[in-house]
Amino acid sequence: MNGRVPTDGGILYDGNDAEDDDDLIEVAEGAPAAPAIEWAENRNEVEGLKGAELIQAFVKRLPNGPGVYRMFNEDGDVLYVGKARSLKKRVGNYAQGRGHSNRISRMIRETANMEFVTTRTEIEALLLEANLIKRLRPRFNVLLRDDKSFPYILVTGDSRAPALYKHRGARSRKGDYFGPFASAGAVGRTINSLQRAFLLRTCTDSVFETRTRPCLLHQIKRCAAPCTGEISNEGYAELVSEAKDFLSGKSQAVKATIAAAMGEASENLDFERAALYRDRLAALSHVQSHQGINPAGVEEADVFAIHHEGGTSCIQVFFFRTGQNWGNRAYFPKADPSLPTAEVLSAFLAQFYDDKPCPRQILLCEAVEEQELLGQALSEKSGYKVAIQVPQRGEKKDLVDHALANAREAHGRKLAETASQSRLLDGFAETFKLERAPRRIEIYDNSHIMGTNAVGGMVVAGPEGFVKGQYRKFNIKSTDITPGDDFGMMREVMTRRFSRLLKEVGKPDRTAEITEDAAFPAWPDVILIDGGQGQMTAVRAILKELDVEDCVTAIGVAKGVDRDAGRERFFALGRDSFTLPPRDPVLYFIQRLRDEAHRFAIGSHRARRKKEMVKNPLDEIAGIGPTRKRALLTHFGTAKAVSRAGMSDLMAVNGISEAVARLVYEHFHEDAAK
């Protein structure tokens, strides 16, 4: 949906011209604009109104048809996004002033403006509502917190020898996608087994095109080496077909075929070939044995179960595709504690499938609000029938019960971790004499080798543990820094981090009251620096220069004597450096924070170093994309050979014009460009 009105019948109703909202909702071409213009002319009717009075003024001009409404506070922040079969009736309920929960009453009081979009059907309103909630993240809606994309297995379709890859993100490349898998680890384990079973390549296209002899994977019997012709194109295509069949649910047929080939090879006394088939069968069995429960009667389904306790909910999702269990994941949506589980699960489902492919069957632990409408919406979005069921008996009921048991266990672990984290943050505040427990701690560390490929890492922790979606890395760009100058690197990281915060968010209001439903803050309460007094002097100088020294508490953590863990020394403004008792829980907590920052910084440094090591000189030439790069490497073999080629040789490559050839030639021959 991408936040757009789903049909030509969509009309934007607000206090401005429809074009002012193009970044969020695009009014369909040909839709009548008169109602929006009439609304703008009568904007004075709602000037100065707020809360129920404002809503009542809007209700007078709302249609009885379906649509989506948004409620805003005085600062222009979206408070709530809702959909309605009748906008007039649904929004009118807010103006009655009775029968509302505390949450809804507070939302109504804060409402200072509203905007509306009409749709042709209630289904379209439901899909648009889910899209807007995910994009705007309103404070009073049920929010899907962890929404990173799922990994898939991709068998490419744009090469003479298809490759097997782990894929995450948009499906822009031609090929067959199999998934979703619950985690990248599950995909990695499956690909490793599939390599042993089907011998498909996993190398990049550029490596494949330039190989002159088989790589190590062929030697250890994990690739058929189509790059050097160790297997014919027809033979490799047969392996690819078997792999696709296995991933499509035809595992028994594939195993029967391989078993028959193993028996035939054994009868012909070709024991080496029989052993190869045996190893392939063992690899396929390994894939299935690591998938846990594999229901015979469920070919394609997602299983959802919700458990609510202690004011929070946990939703457990299991993925079944092609008769195989492809993993599970736990979600902890943000929702008002007073909401019934059916309402939370319904809102979760609409957002969950907003940008994901939907299976043909969805199994739930309990009936949800507007279940039939949700099924129709997902069917219309997917292009095929999607059945939403609450099984009462049999194998499907066993799957739902298993998901519910997992939801209870995950919820219990989460509550224990949250309680422990809360106690640690309280102890942290007491140790460092803070006014209140920090809600956001940022930890910084640098990583480099003799000053090369220097990277600054920032990790974030809060009341619920590490917030990995907030992690940031800073590639050190300054040419004025002496290689290995940790102080200079930290100055650059601090300057870039807090300059951007000031530009995007502005200074924080530390006097504002923090409510239970407040969003995770953008500004840190505390920053931990891996370093001693020297690092802290550099950091405080930057904070003072940016005039934010009063906005954040900076604490330095110096390694202990002989770099021993447990003997760290802490540096805080206004007090002498000090250490903590060896078994202090706060000390362990800080060590864990520092170790995570160290791990992240080293990982980012290694990734950058690896990228530099495999960097191709052709990547530096503007106008040379993957296709031309592949053509040049296929023709000449290596980038070094391309650098030595003359103009006529370059122009002989298919797809390389005279202008492009001159670009390449002048890149490697600077004298010729002068």
Question: Mean pLDDT across the chain, nearest whole number?
Answer: 80
pLDDT tens digits for range 288-311: 554 445 565 677 889 999 999 878
**pLDDT band at residue 47, thresholds of 50, 70 and 90?**
low
Does 259 score more than 90 pLDDT?
no
Task: Tell me: cis bond preceding 180? Omega within 30 of 0 counts.
Answer: yes
For the segment 529-549, the average pLDDT, to the nearest whole number, is: 86
pLDDT of residue 7: 35
Residues 633 and 476: beta-carbon distance below 8 Å: no
For the segment 338-356, the average pLDDT, to the nearest whole number, is: 87
pLDDT of residue 18: 36
Return d(Cα 430, Cα 450) in angstroms, integer: 39
Residue written as tokens 């990982």? 603
- Whole-Å CA distances, 130 to 354, 376, 414, 469: 7, 14, 26, 21
Write the CB contacts of 376 (distance below 8 Å, at least 6 apart in sequence): 123
Please tell me which residue, 514 or 577, carries the higher pLDDT value.
Answer: 577
Residues 200 and 239: beta-carbon distance below 8 Å: yes
Does 575 score more than 80 pLDDT?
yes
For the segment 267-291, the average pLDDT, to the nearest whole number, is: 67
pTM of the predicted structure, to 2 decimals: 0.65
pLDDT of residue 390: 93
Please tell me which residue, 336 or 270, carries the higher pLDDT value.
Answer: 336
Strand residue runs (E) in 410-471: 441-449, 452-462, 465-466
Does 409 score more than 70 pLDDT?
yes
C-alpha gyration radius of the chain: 30
For the segment 656-672, the average pLDDT, to the nearest whole number, is: 79
Q: Where are the domains of the chain?
A: 11-136, 151-289, 301-413, 441-611, 617-673
- Residue % of the chain over a pLDDT of 90: 14
Q: With H, G, I as helix, E, B as strand and everything else as coil, classify residue 628.
A: helix
H or E element, residue 114? strand 113-118
Extract the tokens encoding 33.
């604009």
3.10.20, 3.30.420, 3.30.460, 1.10.3470: CATH of 301-413:
3.30.420
Q: HEC states along 239-303?
A: HHHHHHHHHCCCHHHHHHHHHHHHHHHHHCCCHHHHHHHHHHHHHHHHHHHCCCCCCCCCCCEEE
State which fold the 441-611 domain adopts: Nucleotidyltransferase; domain 5 (3.30.420)
Helix, strand, coil shares of the chain, percent, nearest 5, are 45, 15, 40
Does the fold of domain 617-673 match that of domain 301-413?
A: no
Does 287 score more than 80 pLDDT?
no
Please tell me which residue, 398 or 515, carries the higher pLDDT value.
Answer: 398
pLDDT tens digits for range 381-391: 888 899 999 99
Extract the tokens encoding 289.
């044995």
Q: Which of 39-53, 586-600, 630-644 has the lowest mean pLDDT?
A: 39-53
Q: For the domain covering 11-136, report its CATH number.
A: 3.40.1440.10
pLDDT of residue 524: 93
For the segment 266-285, the average pLDDT, to the nearest whole number, is: 71
For the segment 211-223, the average pLDDT, to the nearest whole number, is: 87
Which of the residue ranges 132-146, 542-556, 560-574 has the most confident prediction, judged by mean pLDDT?
Answer: 542-556
3.40.50.11860, 3.40.50.410, 1.10.150.20, 1.20.1060.10: CATH of 617-673:
1.10.150.20
For the segment 112-140, the average pLDDT, to the nearest whole number, is: 89
For the segment 63-76, the average pLDDT, to the nearest whole number, is: 89
Residue 95: DSSP 8-state: T
